[in-house]
Structure 1
Amino acid sequence: MNSKIITLGMLAVAAVAVGCSALPAAAPDYDALAARMVRSAFRSEGIAKVERVTETDDTQKLCSAADVAGKPLDPAVAKRIEEANLKTVKWPADGRFLGDWKQGEQIAQSGRGLTWSDDTKTPNGGNCYNCHQIAPGEISFGTIGPSLYHYGKLRGVKDPNSAEARPIVEYTWGKIWNAKAYNACSNMPRSGHMGNLTEQQIRHVMALLLDPASPVNR
């Protein structure tokens, strides 16, 4: 009798052990794992810091998660992201939206800045050509974003300082400052929000896009 009881007890313990071993393991924290991998594979040097990759805001986290899942953001979440980012847009302190299109062209065609070998005293470029066509004379340009050729002309901007042009002028400024204010998971850099371009540099790029004398609109 005792041997039967012992045997049954051992079988019960074994069954419990097997059952426990069959339980799924807790899912790992993939974000923390990715951060550790980045820190172990990269190092900060000069102005290029590892934190640029490992420390992201909620907007980027939500967009990255949607990209990994292969699904678009929930419309309500996307709207919340856009509203939050729109609040970060800083409008021109003096009310002037346009600068010099010639300087804007140089900024748009420059991809320099934010690498370990760059000096913080050297202005960053806009790197616009890497994603957009700017003028028909370009030898090469990226196609991630739409062509910017005739940007102001196609939108009927004859006088960028007129009341009629104000809506498109403000939209363009906001889009350059923080593109995610208008498209939650836009691939376009948040040039003003992230400090990639100064307010004055954005004025110059605005002139490139909207000044009728700019090669963009000729």
Structure 2
Amino acid sequence: MKKQHAFALSALASLLVAGCATGPSTADLDQMAATVVKSSFSDKGIVKVSAIAPEDINVACTAADVAGKPLDPAVAEALQAAQLKSIKWPADGNYMGDWKAGEKLAQSGRGLTWSDKADTANGGNCYNCHQLDPKEISFGTIGPSLTGYGKTRGVIADPTSTASKAIIEYTWGKIWNAKAYNACSVMPRAVHKGIITEKQAKDLMALLLDPKSPVNN
């Protein structure tokens, strides 16, 4: 493995040096980078190399980012439509779980490392990007604050209204697969990628929408 890795790095370096005179194509660089990745990573425990395999949606977003331009709206719409099809809605129509379990989940960042067992419950890691409880003084700011999430959106006041039902469904879909609503979202596709379970998603829903949750108090 070390010899393969060294060879791949050497080949990539040679190509880059040659590029000063010949100008390697993007395809050449992509191929060499893929070789380096393939020689550097291997399945270990529950962590599989397939997790870093490129997907159309990620490739498109990366290309747009490198170009310094927003993703073409038509392309974004098509990619989002494909991701939307991956969302599974609760068969029993019940979106809500236990907000206390959801709070613990949101504040946990553990899991998904090679040393974890396959049945280890992963954390949601929500705190790393969002403020949840208004009383929190330390929280991530990559994503928007979620304080008062259900209250400010009218779900607490009238959970059966058409507007509230739309918010509830959107929230479920966002937790399941964020890229269904924003192709280049940096939010993890939590349930779609197996980071959390459907039951855990219901607990996070309760954290965001239950009137007793600290999020709404």
Give the alignment's TM-score, normalised by structure 1: 0.83
**What SS does structure 2 have at the residue aligned with 1:90?**
coil
Q: Which runs of 5+ in 1 are unaligned?
A: 1-21
* CA displacement at 1:138 relative to structure 2: 2.7
Match of 1:166 in 2: 165
In the superposition, relative to structure 1, how do residues 160 and 36 fare at CA in structure 2: closer, same or farther (>3 Å)? farther
* CA displacement at 1:25 relative to structure 2: 5.9
* CA displacement at 1:181 relative to structure 2: 0.9
In the superposition, relative to structure 1, how do residues 201 and 86 fare at CA in structure 2: closer, same or farther (>3 Å)? same
In the superposition, relative to structure 1, how do residues 192 and 25 fare at CA in structure 2: closer, same or farther (>3 Å)? closer
In the superposition, relative to structure 1, how do residues 29 and 101 fare at CA in structure 2: closer, same or farther (>3 Å)? same
RMSD: 1.9
TM alignment of 1:18-33, pairs within 5 A: 27-33=26-32
Bigger mean CA deviation after superposition, 192-201 or 30-39: 30-39
In the superposition, relative to structure 1, how do residues 48 and 126 fare at CA in structure 2: closer, same or farther (>3 Å)? same
Match of 1:86 in 2: 84
Query: Counterpart amino acid of 1:169?
Result: I
In the superposition, relative to structure 1, how do residues 24 and 125 fare at CA in structure 2: closer, same or farther (>3 Å)? closer
In the superposition, relative to structure 1, how do residues 93 and 29 fare at CA in structure 2: closer, same or farther (>3 Å)? farther
Larger radius of gyration: 1
Contact in 2 for aligned 1:179/1:189 (Cα 8 Å): yes
In the superposition, relative to structure 1, how do residues 23 and 214 fare at CA in structure 2: closer, same or farther (>3 Å)? closer
Bigger mean CA deviation after superposition, 133-142 or 159-168: 159-168
In the superposition, relative to structure 1, how do residues 179 and 27 fare at CA in structure 2: closer, same or farther (>3 Å)? closer
* CA displacement at 1:188 relative to structure 2: 0.4
Identity of aligned residues (%): 61
Q: Is 1:112 paired with 2:110?
A: yes
Q: How many residues align?
A: 196
* CA displacement at 1:93 relative to structure 2: 1.6
Match of 1:97 in 2: 95
* CA displacement at 1:61 relative to structure 2: 1.5
Q: Which runs of 5+ in 2 are unaligned?
A: 1-20
* CA displacement at 1:62 relative to structure 2: 1.1
**What SS does structure 2 have at the residue aligned with 1:29?**
helix
Give the alignment's TM-score, normalised by structure 2: 0.83
In the superposition, relative to structure 1, how do residues 40 and 163 fare at CA in structure 2: closer, same or farther (>3 Å)? same
Query: What is the alpha-carbon distance in structure 1 between the residues aligned to residue 30 and residue 158 of structure 2?
Result: 45
